[in-house]
Each structure stands twice: as structure tokens, then as C-alpha cells.
Amino acid sequence: MNKYTLEKIASIGVATRGNVQQAVKLSREVLSEPFSPYERYKVLKQTAELMIEKQEELAQIICEEVGKPITESRGEVARAAMTLEISAEEAKRISGHAVPVEAAPGSERRKAFTIRVPVGVVAAITPFNVPLNLVCHKVGPALAAGNSVVLKPAEVTPLCALKLAELFNEAGLPSGRLNVLTGNGPEIGQWLIDEEDISMFSFTGSPRVGRWLRERAGTRKVALELGNNSATIIHHDADLDTAAEQVALKSFNNAGQVCISVQRVYVHESVKESFLDKLRIKTEALKVGDPSDDKTHVGPMIHPDQLKRVEEWVNEAVSQGAEVVTGNTKQGTVFMPTVLTNVKRFMKVCKDEIFGPVVSILSYEGEDDVINEVNDSAYGLQAGLFTNDLSFAMKAAEKIEVGGLIINDTSGYRVDHMPYGGVKGSGNGKEGPKYAIEEMTNERIIVMNL
């Protein structure tokens, strides 16, 4: 469906159990066919080039099937191409290392080294919100490492994955290396779990589903990129204009449906009123509405049910004492960017992942207090800290329990070659092609008794 107009834009097949079995069988069989690192490099690089050639077509697909503003959708295509380019380069750099076993008494005449071998068949399951780049963050490294992939994109945003498979095919990817299954998550998920030829599950999505997979995968590798209720700290020495601008951008891009979207903002008491006023002005200046308009910043949510949930969470918070600075209204499938204050930690809008265009403003005084408040979360993906106080920045770097801390920017910062992944309820994997390849290969030691 077009997520803004709710008009039908495509009909997609629903995979059967037989399709799942066939996809895994093809994925398994193709592993016996040679696919050298340089061949992988060429296919990945060519697919990236094709993506850029077709950037507008792909951006339109993202805009329609996610409801993501077209300008942001174009940006996703550019990032996805970059992800594949990085994967292509990493395909040429996969290696093990020497191991000095001879240092052990009695092993003086032995030599050892490790090699990295592909895990085999990778089942990649991806979320709705970034349907091209997050698919590339699984498929790119998996292929670069010599694996084959069975890909299950989100039911509500399958078109990008299908288009990507077409581009890989055009770029010469051997048949069977990438197989796309569209349809119902729980059903296909169970059928994938039942396929013993799958060596690894690479999942990005909600903690609920991530736990479901992990509990059933047995001894197979499971890489989890899960949810977050991202915090950003605005210290008393922060550049408030920059901080307000970045918080507005990264609280509401993709309608807040981003795992590192700014959800909790902790502002030092001494600058709270000034920051709040600047944030309100920046938020109310955002253009909201039709995502196909080049000027739109905030489009619709992925489904009316999700809009209803967000509205319920906000209204519950208000009933518990939260105050609306701006927003908490809706226009069709769009929930207006909303800023709340007087928010308490027990409120859903604070302690859970809202995954919508809502940001809660809280205040603090002491450095240790705010670090403790940021850490008072089931999640730990990324956090932001606006300050020029290096000792506070380094204290936060050492004490804030996240996968990434972004100094003088928000939690929403990411470039595609950096290590990316969370702790606690945010998962256990690390993406970024170099790091995903390490997870998608097994290290084998070779010892030679000379």
C-alpha cells in the first residue's frame, strides 16, 4: 500500500512452506559452486552502480511503500549503494592471522594460522523502516563473505528487496546466492527455523521477535539488531541552536520510525527553557504531509494502527501529568511531530520504544545523575551528548551503556562503515560490513606439524 494515500500499489506473492524449502535448498546447493572474493567484489560493486543509476526509481519505491519523504528516500538509496560498495571492498580483505603455537613447549616444530570460512546459508530478516539499506547491511556482507542468503523482508515493505534482487541478477550474481521470500513473518519465520540447512539468522526488528528467534535457533548463530529508546543529553555548555536543530531533525525523520531516533532528551536545568523554546520553533517549522513533496520533512506512519498506538501513548502520558509543548494532533495518516515535557520515567513514551514522531524532554543537574537516567533503560543502542566538556564526554563514554555514544550530535548519527549495534535489549550483533562479515564467517585454525 502507499502509506500516505492507502492506495494499493502492488500485489505480492505469499511464500509457501514449499517455497521456503526450495529457497533454502537452492541456497545450500549453490555453495558448492566457486564464487571467488574478486567475483563477489565485482558483483557487489556493479549492483551498487546500478542502484545509483536507478536511484530515483528506488527512491520512489521507498517513498511509497514506507511513506518516507522523497528527499530522505533518495538519501537511503545513496547510503545503500555505499553499503554495497563497502561490502565489495571488504570482500577482498577477508583473512585470518598467524598463531605462534610454537611458543608452547613441545610445539616447537608446529606452525599455525587461521582462515575465515563462510557460515553457509544466512537467513536475513529485515524491518519495514529502512527497507533498502538495512537489507543491504545483511545481503552485502553475507555475499562478500561467500555465503548465500535467504531474505525475508517486512510484509509491508517488500518491493525494495525484490528490486534489489533484480539488480543483483543484472549484475551477474549467480542464481541461488540470493533468494527472497515475501509474506507473513511468523509463518515464514517458523518454516525458516525448521530448516536445518540455515547456519545463521541475521535479524533486525523488534525485541519481541528477536527473542522469539533466539529461543528457537538452537546452536545456530543469531545476530540481533533490535529496538531502542534513544537518549540525547544537552549539557549546559551546549550550542543550543545546533542541538535544537539536530534534535528536531532526528526526532522526526521517517516519522520517528528509526531505531536511533531521538526519543528522550535530557536538558541541563539551567538551559531547559531556552532549549525547549528553540526546539518548539524548529519542530513547528518542519513541513508535514505528502512524502512525495520534495519539501516534506515528516510523512505518514507505517500503518494507521501504529498512529493510533502512538496517540494512545501520548494521551496516557498527558493523563499522567506530561505536558504537550507542540503536536499531539493528526492529519490523515500523519501524526504531527510532538514534543512533551514534564515526562516521568515510568511513562511508556519514556521507558518503551515509541517508534513514532514523539520526543520527551526531561531535565537534570548532575553529570552522574543524567548518566544514571540514560542507563535506566532496557535498551542500549546509541546515545548523544552535546557538550564541549571533555572530562564529562569521556566520563559518559566510559559509563553510558550503549553500543555507540555520539558527542556533539544526537543518537541518530550513523555512517555505514562504522561498527553499529547495541547492548542490553537492543541486541547482540554488530553491523557495518567489516563487522558483519566477521559474524558471517567462522574462524578455523590450521596447525601444521612439520
Ligand X SMILES: O=C[C@H](O)CS(=O)(=O)O
Ligand Y SMILES: NC(=O)c1ccc[n+]([C@@H]2O[C@H](COP(=O)([O-])OP(=O)(O)OC[C@H]3O[C@@H](n4cnc5c(N)ncnc54)[C@H](O)[C@@H]3O)[C@@H](O)[C@H]2O)c1
Residues marked active site are found at 225, 259
Residue nearer to ligand Y on the CB measure, 84 or 130: 130
| Binding residues with ligand X: total (CB under 6 A) | 8
Judged on CB neighbours under 10 Å (0-12, 13-18, 19+), 249 is middle
Q: Which stretch binds ligand X (CB under 6 A): 65-73, 128-136, 316-324, 385-393?
A: 128-136
User: Which one of residues 188, 255, 260, 265 is an interface residue with ligand X (CB under 6 A)?
Assistant: 260
Distance CA 73, CA 65 (A): 11
- Residue 132 makes contact with ligand X by CB under 6 A: no
Residue nearer to ligand Y on the CB measure, 129 or 283: 129
* DSSP state letters, 407-444: ETS-TT---TTS-B--SGGGBS--BSHHHHHHHTEEEE
Distance CA 379, CA 443 (A): 30
- Residue 130 makes contact with ligand X by CB under 6 A: yes
Instruction: Work out whether strand 404-407 and strand 382-386 pair parallel, antiparallel, or are unpaired.
Output: parallel
User: Which one of residues 259, 298, 383, 437 is an interface residue with ligand X (CB under 6 A)?
Assistant: 259
Instruction: Work out whether strand 98-99 and strand 198-204 pair parallel, antiparallel, or are unpaired.
Output: unpaired
Q: How far is the CB of 430 from ligand X (least distance, A)?
A: 12
Q: Which residue has the cell 592471522?
A: 97
Rounded to 5 degrees, φ, ψ at 225 are: -115, 105
Q: How far is the CB of 126 from ligand Y (least distance, A)?
A: 6
Q: Pick from ligand Y, ligand X, none: which does 386 bind, CB < 5 to 8 A by kind?
A: none
- Residues facing residue 380 across a β-bridge: none
Among residue numbers 393 through 432, which ones bind ligand X (CB under 6 A)? 414
- Residue 86 makes contact with ligand X by CB under 6 A: no
C-alpha cell at 155: 510484509
Residue nearer to ligand X on the CB measure, 182 or 254: 254
Q: Pick from ligand X, ligand Y, none: which does 414 bind, CB < 5 to 8 A by kind?
A: ligand X
| Nearest one of 179, 169, 160, 189 to 10, comparing CA atoms | 160
Residue nearer to ligand Y on the CB measure, 227 or 299: 227
Residues at the site binding ligand Y, with contacts judged by CB under 6 A: 125-130, 134, 152-155, 185-186, 189, 204-206, 209, 212-213, 225-228, 259, 353, 355, 381, 427
Residue 361 parent element (H or E): strand 358-364
Binding-site ranges for ligand X (CB under 6 A): 129-130, 133-134, 258-260, 414
